[in-house]
A and B are shown apart, each in its own frame.
Chain A
Amino acid sequence: MTETTPPLPMAPLVDMQKITKSYRGVPAVREVDFDLRKGEIHALLGENGAGKSTLTKVMAGVVATSSGRMLYRGREVSYASPFEALRDGIAMVFQETSLVPSMTVAQNLYLGDEKFLNRLRGVYIAAQQFLQSLNFSVDPTALVATLGAAKRQMVEIARAVHHKAEVIIFDEPTASLTPEEKRHFFTLMRRLKARGVSIVFISHALEEALTHADRITILRDGERVASGEAKEFDRETVIRAMVGRTLSNELYRTRRSAGELRRAGAKVLSVQDISMSNVVRNNSFSIYEGQITGVFGLIGSGRTETFKIVSGIYKRDFRGGGEIELDGRPVRYNVPGPAVKDRIVYVTEDRKLEGFFETLSVAENLYSGLLAAGLERLPYVSLREMQQLAAQWHDTLNIRAINDNARVVELSGGNQQKVVIGKGLIQKPRIVIFDEPTRGVDVGAIAEIHHLINNLADEGLAVVVVSSYLPEILNLSDRILVCRQGRIVEELSPEDATEEKIMYAAVH
């Protein structure tokens, strides 16, 4: 029998030492040490605003560091742009996609990599083969603007892989993928790892990090609070390190008794046989006051489109489009304005694209919600009213911004989401539709948003939560609707619903 000696720890491929990055003098990360070894999957966890994205943006050359240094393959580097980092072998797949919407998938894949003369057909064929090798079912000739969030994310991932990067940073890669697509993604990640690619993996789904990562680093308030082998962590220790307290009972309580469920109030919304092309097909359901209706469906099930029809963002079919009744009164919204006036608010799943004006301040964004509903007190834009409003909603929603005039783009995902929610709630809604309210949001902010949603239902509002995250549906809902192929196919009570039952209804 031969005795083997444990392998010596490898020299890190990327070694970030005492990295500090400040925005307007306020540090987003403070003296953080982070290292990445060759061929490892390193999960970076933390609440929104903990500094994960900032740290990885420094690594990928998106932002410059304020102090500290970064070594790549043992030499000190400082990238002025993502292009420089990519040329060196460091690619980043962004949380909010950075594709060119007016170009096709293939054109986006080969962007920056074009030859002097390009044969479009050849590009499409190569792109098709490449996407198939990754098991991504995306049409290379499709315009990116026509793709859903999940497919855009796939293209983004494919682009990073295509550039043969040695270090790939995935920022919330699975937030918009279906379970099937997630499985493909993790297979791909393991394949990349086997090829020697090093991966930094940011995710709010803790199970994913615990299952797939080799090492885990946890940030809190811009500082590193824990780092080690993944097997040293479990969900409880990760959450405690992330938020400084345990939240398991608040977030993952999945079975509720009948006594805990809110009873249905008056029926406020009755949707009957609405149809939109082949996306929403003869869909019927009712929404009641004073309770939370959870709507679960996989991507492509028509759940988002259904509620966008209800809130006037999409139009239902002109012929045979069905009926929507608000308090027994038939309504047909062709634009969102009248729906907002009727106090129906839709809180979007894609906050960056549809949720806020990113270059405006928090106050201006909140005030824009008031203007959209026509609820402003004065017939002109009042800065005082705006500031009062911002102060009130800052406290109500616990928005953590660098200062009152911070632009929304500078906020973390969780705080951005709170701004979007605040913008909707300012409109004094009767029906609030939350579409993926905690996508890309950390566990601390999830608990706060869940608390807020529960409060709204307790106040008597009709609340709809559309989500593809089953624990969220089970935890929040007073009744659960399951959407498949453009229609509600099942209604379950949380008393007897399980993840398996819901998923079965969503798939079969």
Chain B
Amino acid sequence: MIFEPLLDFFRGKAITIPPMDGPLRPNTALDEAALVRRAVAPDNLCFDGGQILYSSGSEVLALTGDAPITIASYESPVATLAVSPSGVLAVALDDGRLMIGDRTLPAPGGLTSLTALAFGDADTLFLCQGSARHRSSDWVVDLMERNATGSVWRLDLRSGDALCLAKDLAFPYGLLVESGGSLVVAESWRHRLLRLPQAGGAATPILSKLPGYPARLAPAGDGGAWLTLFAPRNRLIEFVLEEESYRADMMREVPRDCWIAPSLSSGASFLEPLQCGGVKTMGIHKPWSPSRSYGLVVRLDAAMRPVTSFHSRTNGRRHGVTSVVEAGGRVLVSSKGGGAILDIAGALS
């Protein structure tokens, strides 16, 4: 095996993507899931003990009654949010600002691209910085530049002290606080989950070679976790990621929406690369055809192994799932690309 990398030089490196099978076997559960609310790009969901909150554009809204109630509104889009055990709302904005309740804190270490927040306790906040070079909304640029400048931080809210727990991560996008003094981080560009000690230390991969780009994590009712994957991997994109000069030209000359890159939704324009990669026969969009966008939520067990999954396939509309929250017997999913909040508890049973 030691000669394999050398042989790759002659035969070309294999570009392969793990198949979606076993617990990740495709289905149409997200497309069939109950619609809770139509919303404009609903993103991060969380539960404040009484109601479900979600971010949409530059607002944080509560999902109650017939119409959503605006909880807070900002000048900049909301990047991520979290609620402390005592009910304090923490919001990170796309411009790099961090709000804890009604306080605005300077982001530690000059963080500008917060992608996930999670409270350890009332005074400890964990933060994911996706990239040191780009805002969180510019994630596609960060991917195409193949950066690995993300980091995970622990912030003491009383003293303001910040400790970098891990750095040089390839866009950490999800964060889960575990009871045993560790964190699980979704490292998006490397398609894996890592476990980190909350006190700092070496990271250990716990779930690798995912067939998509992992996004946010959320605790599940019975000790496991929910994982969202906001876009699928496909071979064309993997190939483009290997081609430096092509990528540089594409980024310079082609509008961003038309890059050969993952997307939260696709099929809106005929100018899109591969027109969503879709294979259409007799007017039917084949669900198995390659796509830039997809909807995928994975249920993980306590050992962080996939147990089951919920899909919106290539021909579905509920793509670009970025967040899940389980509360009050409901499992709500935000399809940012599909503009919908869904309840998948029915499919689970």
Where the two chains meet, the residues of A that have a C-beta atom closer than 8 Å to any C-beta of B are 263-267, 270-273, 284-286, 288, 318-323, 325, 328, 330-332, 479, 481, 488, 491, 493
Contact = CB atoms under 8 A, between A and B. Distances in A.
Interface in B276-314: 305-307
B74 to A, nearest CB: 42
26 contacts: A263-B307, A264-B23, A264-B305, A264-B306, A266-B305, A267-B305, A270-B19, A270-B209, A271-B19, A273-B16, A284-B16, A284-B19, A284-B21, A285-B19, A288-B22, A288-B23, A318-B11, A319-B12, A320-B12, A322-B14, A322-B16, A323-B14, A332-B1, A332-B4, A491-B22, A493-B25
Nearest to A338: B1
A389 to B, nearest CB: 32
Contact of A286 (B4, B18, B208): B18
Nearest to B25: A491
A319 B16 contact: no
Nearest to B208: A328
B16 A286 contact: no
B209 A320 contact: no
Nearest to B11: A319
Contacts, number: 64
Nearest to B26: A491
Contact of A328 (B17, B22, B209, B307): B209
B95 to A, nearest CB: 39
Contacts of B307: 263-264
A88 B51 CA distance: 91
A320 to B, nearest CB: 7
B22 A286 contact: yes
Given A328-B209, A330-B1, A286 B14 contact: no
Contact of A321 (B14, B18, B25, B306): B14
A286 B25 CA distance: 11
A270 B25 contact: no
B279 to A, nearest CB: 14
A322 B19 CA distance: 12
Q: Is the interface of B mostly helix, strand, loop or mixed?
A: loop
**A265, A271, A286: most-surrounded residue (chain B CB, <10 A):** A286
Contacts of B19: 270-272, 284-286, 488
Q: Is the interface of A mostly helix, strand, loop or mixed?
A: strand
A271 B21 CA distance: 11
Contact of B14 (A263, A264, A273, A481): A273
A271 B14 CA distance: 12
Nearest 10 CB-CB pairs, A to B?
A272-B16, A284-B19, A319-B11, A323-B16, A273-B16, A323-B14, A264-B22, A491-B25, A491-B21, A286-B22
Contacts of B4: 330, 332
B60 to A, nearest CB: 38
B209 A325 contact: yes
A333 B56 CA distance: 51
A285 to B, nearest CB: 6
A265 B301 CA distance: 10
**B17, B22, B305: most-surrounded residue (chain A CB, <10 A):** B22
Contacts of A491: 21-22, 25
Interface string B17-46: 111011101000000000000000000000
A190 B275 CA distance: 56
Contacts of B17: 272-273, 284
A273 B208 CA distance: 18
A286 B21 CA distance: 7
A266 B209 CA distance: 13
**B4, B12, B16: most-surrounded residue (chain A CB, <10 A):** B16
Nearest to A492: B25
B249 to A, nearest CB: 26
A474 to B, nearest CB: 17
A478 to B, nearest CB: 10
A264 B301 CA distance: 11
Contacts of A318: 7, 11
B187 to A, nearest CB: 15
Contacts of B16: 272-273, 284, 322-323
A125 to B, nearest CB: 44
**B4, B18, B23, B306: most-surrounded residue (chain A CB, <10 A):** B18
Contacts of B208: 328
B21 A285 contact: yes
Nearest to A478: B22
A286 B22 CA distance: 7
Given A264-B22, A273-B17, 17 more contacts: A264-B306, A265-B305, A267-B22, A270-B19, A270-B209, A272-B19, A273-B16, A284-B19, A285-B19, A286-B18, A286-B19, A320-B14, A321-B14, A322-B16, A330-B1, A481-B21, A493-B25
Contact of A270 (B1, B14, B18, B305): B18
Contacts of B306: 264
A267 B208 CA distance: 10
A493 B27 CA distance: 12
Contacts of B21: 284-286, 481, 488, 491
Contacts of B305: 264-267
A328 B206 CA distance: 11
A265 B305 CA distance: 8
A321 B4 CA distance: 13
Contacts of B7: 318
Nearest to B235: A273
A91 to B, nearest CB: 47
B41 to A, nearest CB: 33
A337 to B, nearest CB: 14
A284 B12 CA distance: 19
Interface in B147-168: none
A463 to B, nearest CB: 14
A330 B2 CA distance: 11
A332 B7 CA distance: 12
B120 to A, nearest CB: 28
A402 B10 CA distance: 56
Nearest to A272: B16
A325 B14 CA distance: 12
A323 B8 CA distance: 12
A53 B41 CA distance: 71
B110 to A, nearest CB: 35
Contacts of A273: 14, 16-17
Nearest to B18: A270
A319 B209 CA distance: 22
A213 B307 CA distance: 49
Contacts of A270: 18-19, 209
A319 B11 CA distance: 5
Contact of A331 (B1, B22, B23, B209): B1
A493 B308 CA distance: 12
Contacts of A331: 1
Contacts of B25: 479, 491, 493
Contacts of A479: 22, 25
A328 B205 CA distance: 11
**A318, A323, A325, A332: most-surrounded residue (chain B CB, <10 A):** A323
B231 to A, nearest CB: 19
**A263, A264, A271: most-surrounded residue (chain B CB, <10 A):** A264
Interface string B253-283: 0000000000000000000000000000000
B247 to A, nearest CB: 22
Contacts of A263: 307
A446 to B, nearest CB: 27
B28 to A, nearest CB: 14
Contacts of A332: 1, 4
Nearest to B19: A284
A412 B186 CA distance: 55
